[in-house]
Amino acid sequence: MNQALQQPKFEYYLFVMSGPHKGEKFRLLNSQIQIGRQDNNHIPLPKDKKVSRQHAIIDFANGGIYIKHLSDKNKLILNGKVIEQDNLVHGSEITLGDTTLQFHIRAVHPSQVATSQQKKSRKPKHQKTKNNTRLYIYGGLGLLVLYLATQDGSPKKEVTKQEIGSTVKIQESIEATLKERAQKQKQMNLKRVKDKRFQEADLAYKIGYREYQAGNYMRALDSFQACLSIYPTHMLCDRYKNLSIRKHEELIEHYIRIGLRYKANNQFSSCEQAFSQAMILLKGNRSDKRYTLANENFKYCKVSMGEYINE
């Protein structure tokens, strides 16, 4: 039971790949992250004089992760293209001035730590087997060459040349096999990386799906957003992300609608609670007209109950 409750946390961070701040790493801990040259930014880049004071902002909103351009003077480049606003996914490269940062996201879970340790413990064994195989091959070739070199007598000379020619072909065959094996190993390693990312994304999907089933659409959105940032082609995450957004919007409309009904019936306590829930679901987004509507009616209901409002 306790193991089932151990949910992974998602870490978002930017790693500086090039520029005056090369090698630095910044964790993204807020829903909005401002990047710029001034020290009061969440991600300050004071050493890069080509970065604006407030250059860009990363926004976790509406089930996605977005980066927006703030500077009127200097460009914002994402994956080699000049942009004003675009979506961020795992591996996206952001360029501001002379600085290039790479966006990363990963799920941290106890089971992943155990898996990583198991892989590390298996690695020396694999390396030992590989070294022993090469030792046997080259040892066998050495014995064969030694045997041919110790043979004498004219009737055997022609056979010796033929055998040496065959040995060369065997050596070439071995080298070709080792090369092909190395290529296949590289392909397998790439597949393992891809599979690991899918497993991390699928873990986020399962958590999001449980939240969706429980009606916690905001938390479900966070998980589906993390899933798509790790593995953008995860079809179920994409589907349930859109469903969560729709359900979330329906829930906001529901609270505003019943709040207005309570207000019309002079049920001001229930009216206050309904509009308060609507504002929570809107995450304090004052640019949304629905937030303004809910906030003004919330104040009206409080005043109608005789409560003082400090503007």
State pTM to two decimals: 0.47
**Residues forming beta bridges with residue 67, ordered by sequence position:** 58, 86
DSSP letter for 17, please. Answer: E
Average pLDDT over all residues of the chain: 80
- Is pLDDT above 50 for 165? yes
DSSP state of 290: H
More confident residue, 271 or 168: 271
Give the full edge-to-edge strand order of the sheet including 81-82: 25-27, 9-18, 99-108, 93-96, 76-78, 81-82
**What mean pLDDT is predicted for residues 208-224?**
88
Contact yes or no for 89/228 (Cβ under 8 A): yes
User: Does position 282 have pLDDT exceeding 90, yes or no?
Assistant: no
DSSP secondary structure letter of residue 43: E
Read off the pLDDT of each residue in 202-219 and give the average, rounded to a whole number: 89
- Predicted local confidence at residue 255, as pLDDT: 93
According to the model, what pLDDT value does residue 3 have? 40
Half-sphere exposure of 18 (CA within 13 A, CB side): 7
Cα separation of 201 and 8, whole Å?
Answer: 11
Q: Does the pLDDT of residue 151 top 50, yes or no? A: yes
Is 212 or 195 the better-scoring residue by pLDDT? 212
Dist. CA 33–CA 43, nearest whole Å: 7
C-alpha to C-alpha distance for 239 and 249, rounded to whole angstroms: 16
Most confident of 100-114, 192-206, 233-247: 233-247
Share of the chain above pLDDT 90, in %: 38
**How far, CA to CA in Å, does 123 sit from each of 5, 63, 110, 117, 128?**
32, 39, 21, 10, 9
Q: Given a cut of 70, is residue 270 above it in pLDDT?
A: yes
The pLDDT value given to residue 82: 93
CA–CA gap between residue 16 and residue 48 (Å, rounded): 12
Q: Averaged over 125-149, what is the pLDDT?
A: 59
In this predicted structure, the answer to whether residue 121 has a pLDDT above a threshold of 60 is: no
CA separation for the pair 179, 185 (Å, rounded): 10
Task: Give per-residue pLDDT as tens, 58-99.
Answer: 988 777 789 999 998 999 999 999 999 998 988 899 999 999
